[in-house]
Amino acid sequence: MARKQLHEQVGLRLAALDQRYTTSRRSLVEVLADTDRPMTISEILAARALPQSSAYRNLVVLGEAGVVHRVVATDDLSRFELSEALSGRHHHHLICGVCGMVADMDASPRLERALAEAAKAAGEGAGFEVTDHRIDLMGSCSDCR
């Protein structure tokens, strides 16, 4: 998604919640749009000079608006990324159970079909309509092995 279009979409999502698209929120969106993996608060703050309390508050609002997705790893640090609807990229995560590293992973079309079929079957068994899925694969990264 082009940067101008991204900001327009974020502005619309925030407006739907009666929230403004402030300079701080725009800065957070820019940081997350410029990376290829979920980022911790520390990494986000290192990329932009923002007060930590402001970053936390704004990430909560951006999450409520469906702009940001929170990824929880094994190291108790939340990581944040743009939602798939805004990034335009469906993906999954590899999470190291030792150091907590989180990396994006694109699944093959064959794996995506199998995941979608399994999710649909599981949902139907519970009387639930599955509309999306996210898969986190746990293991050990190359540095921790």
CATH of the domain at 121: 3.30.1490.190
Number of domains in the chain: 2
DSSP state of 37: S
**Which residue's entry shows tokens 């279009």?**
5
Whether residues 24 and 70 share a domain: the answer is: yes
**What is the CA 72 to chain-centroid distance, rounded?**
10
Residue 18 makes CB contacts below 8 A (sequence gap 6+) with: none
Whether residue 121 sits in one domain with residue 77: no
Tokens 């704004």, located at residue: 58
Copy the structure tokens of residue 100: 């907590």
Task: Judge contact between 38 and 68, C-beta under 8 A.
Answer: no
Same domain, 12 and 79: yes
Averaged pLDDT in 10-residue chunks for the chain of 145 residues: 93 98 95 93 89 91 96 86 92 92 92 93 93 91 95
- Asked whether residue 16 falls in the same domain as residue 68, the answer is yes
How many residues does this entry show for the chain? 145
pLDDT at 64: 97
| Nearest-angstrom CA–CA distance, 102 and 134 | 14
Last residue of a domain, one of 43, 64, 89: 89
Inter-residue contact 9 to 1 (CB < 8 Å): yes
The pLDDT assigned to 73 comes to 82
CATH number at residue 76: 1.10.10.10
- Please report how many Cα atoms fall inside a 13 Å half-sphere around the Cα of residue 76, on the Cβ side: 0
> Same domain for 85 and 117?
no
Both 101 and 123 in one domain: the answer is yes
What is the domain range of residue 4? Answer: 1-89
Give the pLDDT score at 66.
96
pLDDT attached to residue 122: 94
State residue 7's pLDDT score: 96
Residues 79 and 103 in one domain: no
Angular region, 101: left φ>0, alpha ψ -120 to 50, beta rest? beta
Predicted pLDDT at 141:
95
C-beta of residue 80 within 8 angstroms of C-beta of residue 59: yes
pLDDT at residue 72, as a whole number: 85
pLDDT of residue 13: 98
pLDDT computed for residue 51 by the predictor? 85
Q: Same structural domain for residues 12 and 70? A: yes
Looking at residue 9, its pLDDT comes to: 97
* The pLDDT value given to residue 15: 98
pLDDT score recorded for residue 79: 93
71 shares its domain with 95 = no
